[in-house]
Structure 1
């Protein structure tokens, strides 16, 4: 490794991981969320039922010219590379801050800032779940580099204790774009405010630049506010209910914490512990305030996890923790405590490699695994094309599925055929396609990975459903799943206006 500088090794590591993302991105079909957000780009709007609009807007140029999953996935790949670069830069700035003339609490000097930056990047490269965000565009993929950008601005504030007008404008833009990415961007805004409050001088609140930044951020998110206002604030109502989850249970909380450590890697946890042990004893309040970019969102999501939560919700927070972890790991490495770091790094990379190979293989079916979690990444393109052909041939009013998670792939791969979700739950499909009109005939898709009984025999059902065709999906000789297509006639359920 001495043949290259730490910054060169950081770039090499990022490029190797990006190559793996590139291969996988062209090999598999869209996941549930990817197809859903690609449909955002196909149906441009000021905002959407479940998320702000930036995740759709940013894809629109590529979605408009190509349906290729691999090409569209260049966007999350770029955002992941940008996040890794910002992790490196934030690490350098934190290193400079804690090694400054007012940081006399350090008992010994730190390794070089480039070494710390390399360790921070390696901790991210070895973390399993960020690779998923690098392949599939989610709102969290957008929020990670924006949160790191706000961290950089916070560090700039701490180093100068003042902002120029340009700094305030840039901060306002970052806050606005974060708000257009995901509602949880408010946590990063609170962390930035905490850094401002940690400064002895509070004159910033009386400056024109601060209020200019606030106005810019508000203007950026005004499309979201306007859309929700004319749609009875349905997005905010949904997110509040979604975040609260179901009945709060301690075992859910314990499981969530265990999953977090598994999918983000013990390296980040170990590095953060070492940073606190070596670098923040007796530190100024500003260092603790910077940790708020991780602590605020992570603590809130973890607390809510007792009622249910998804592991990728905390990904921007872990990206913001990586610079601190990199400094802690570099400090331990320089003092010859290398064995544990080596073991964790190799084991996490092995897990990442296994995950990529597992996805490319199509997964496995065995008695130990109730269902193949990779099966839904294959076959929806063929099924969607076949469904569109059968819909046209049977002169049906569109395609129907019985759960929204099945609707996003059906709508993407069978476009422009309308897709209806046969449930009473309000979602984005109701806004795009409305509810089925009474008496309608429809082509019903039933997927073996999430089977449902035929929707006949109750008040919200069809008069009859007749099997029409089926499609088996195979990969490397094994059957991954099966699609059944039926023609259902005379819908008797409630009709809602489009």
Structure 2
């Protein structure tokens, strides 16, 4: 919470906050829930710290659901393994608390606790579906109320992120593993399916009237670039680093000591982790972001918590303590690194934290200059620069001078021919001025610069130019 009030929006946070400013049935790159859920606070305030109450609350809910899933998983194992494992299994409370401890010590999951991403929403919804799957395995039947809750969870997951389809497939895998398939003929099953379909209908309608651009974009985006083994190896290494070896240790102990009488049920439940993780990892050879697997790691925490609890109860606590303190130290170092403004280097581009400072004052100055010069709007040369510019310079329109289609084209349209535009250039991502025989503007006149300092160090620099006579798309990318 303290960090949430201390830093400006990241590129993704600003982008999804703009969703709330421009309410729609869906959006170019993601379903709409990440914008809808912010709308009440965004309509009341522009304070980053207040808006970040939403991901902080969702993180707390995810931790609570992790505890509850662990308790239910503990009961399932006890019920299926009565006779030879029950006496050796630690208490459900210890297992649940260690599962939450694993979450707390995972550096990457704190990113979701500070910044609202679609994955922040998908994590508690995935855990909710996992809880319903456990209820089904323990009771082998659902009430109408259970089916409706399941349909709501599936629908909300679909409104959160398109990759919720992996979680839905893991949930279906649990049902398909049941020797009795009577659920398929139940009224409740079809009621749940109808509920989920109704909830995701805004996404389907929006894509239908917009030539299915979201699905086309996601298929191309998920494929990434050229597939390379070194990217896959790096992705796996980063996953272990940012989520922590406590997950691995706990899961190995669980698989070794706890998967006996309920093996089929536990394998299907592990699908909530392995199905999305394997898919994202296999795609990582072409490129991928480490936080995409975050909901899957939340779903792995109950298994790892039971495994660590078993090791803890058997007095094998040395490695647990060491790994816990290492991971907590990594979290604290990460917080300090962000608050300090990053590393002190000669090159501004090599400091990734510089991106989190300066956009508020730069956006406000750009809005003032745009108004003073009677410009038709603000322009940047990459969409990752556009989200902060559009948020902090709101309501001034922001145009992205590249050749790719994106959400900004839907929000602000194209630059009018002959328009004068205020151009923002940022030192962390430099481009040549978009002028010349084959470029977009006739000329660009410098209007001034803005240096961003933190603790006496220059983090980055913004340059402002008035570019005149827009002649159409050029070669700037």
Bucket of the pairwise TM-score, normalised by the shorter protein: over 0.9
Judge conservation of contact 1:103–1:283 (CA < 8 Å) in 2. no
Judge conservation of contact 2:106–2:243 (CA < 8 Å) in 1. yes
User: 1:254 & 1:437 partners in 2: Cα distance?
Assistant: 47
Residue of structure 1 in register with 2:140 after alignment: 161
Secondary structure, aligned partner of 1:25: coil
Greater Cα offset, 366-375 or 408-417: 366-375
Judge conservation of contact 1:105–1:281 (CA < 8 Å) in 2. no
Q: 257, 282, 286: which is aligned to 1:307?
A: 286
Residue of structure 1 in register with 2:128 after alignment: 149
The offset of 1:199, in angstroms, is: 1.4
Secondary structure, aligned partner of 1:27: coil
The offset of 1:283, in angstroms, is: 3.3
Pair 1:103–1:230, CA change in 2 (3 A): farther
Residue of structure 2 in register with 1:18 after alignment: none
The offset of 1:378, in angstroms, is: 0.7
Equivalenced residues, count: 474
Write out per-residue CA displacement over residues 70-99 of structure 1, whole angstroms, 9 at most, x where no aligned residue.
000000000000000000000000001001
Q: 66, 70, 73: which is aligned to 2:52?
A: 73
Q: 482, 485, 491: which is aligned to 2:464?
A: 485
Greater Cα offset, 429-438 or 278-287: 278-287
Pair 1:117–1:369, CA change in 2 (3 A): farther
Judge conservation of contact 2:80–2:262 (CA < 8 Å) in 1. no
Residue of structure 1 in register with 2:23 after alignment: 44
Secondary structure, aligned partner of 1:163: coil
Residue of structure 1 in register with 2:439 after alignment: 460
Residue of structure 2 in register with 1:260 after alignment: 239
Is residue 149 of structure 2 the alignment partner of residue 138 of structure 1? no
Residue of structure 2 in register with 1:296 after alignment: 275
Judge conservation of contact 1:140–1:182 (CA < 8 Å) in 2. yes
Secondary structure, aligned partner of 1:99: helix
Is residue 393 of structure 2 the alignment partner of residue 414 of structure 1? yes
Q: 398, 403, 408: which is aligned to 2:382?
A: 403
TM-score by length of 2: 0.98
Write out per-residue CA displacement over residues 27-67 of structure 1, whole angstroms, 9 at most, x where no aligned residue.
00000000000000000000000000000000000000000
Q: How does 1:92-491 map to 2 (within 5 A)?
A: 92-100=71-79, 102-104=81-83, 106=85, 109-366=88-345, 371-491=350-470
Judge conservation of contact 2:177–2:264 (CA < 8 Å) in 1. yes
User: 1:38 & 1:458 partners in 2: Cα distance?
Assistant: 38
The offset of 1:367, in angstroms, is: 5.9
Judge conservation of contact 1:248–1:307 (CA < 8 Å) in 2. yes
Q: Please, which runs of 5 or more residues in structure 1 have no aligned partner?
A: 1-21
The offset of 1:435, in angstroms, is: 1.3
The offset of 1:460, in angstroms, is: 3.5
User: Segments of 4+ in structure 1 off by > 3 A?
Assistant: 101-105, 281-284, 367-370
User: 2:435 & 2:346 partners in 1: Cα distance?
Assistant: 33
Pair 1:103–1:299, CA change in 2 (3 A): farther
Secondary structure, aligned partner of 2:256: helix
The offset of 1:265, in angstroms, is: 0.4
User: 1:147 & 1:386 partners in 2: Cα distance?
Assistant: 42
Residue of structure 2 in register with 1:19 after alignment: none
Judge conservation of contact 2:81–2:261 (CA < 8 Å) in 1. no
Q: Please, which runs of 5 or more residues in structure 2 have no aligned partner?
A: none
Residue of structure 2 in register with 1:64 after alignment: 43
Q: 66, 71, 76: which is aligned to 1:87?
A: 66
User: 1:460 & 1:289 partners in 2: Cα distance?
Assistant: 56
The offset of 1:257, in angstroms, is: 0.3
Residue of structure 2 in register with 1:15 after alignment: none
Q: State the Cα RMSD in Å.
A: 1.3
Pair 1:105–1:430, CA change in 2 (3 A): farther
Judge conservation of contact 2:158–2:165 (CA < 8 Å) in 1. yes
Write out per-residue CA displacement over residues 324-367 of structure 1, whole angstroms, 9 at most, x where no aligned residue.
00000010111111111111100000000000011111112226
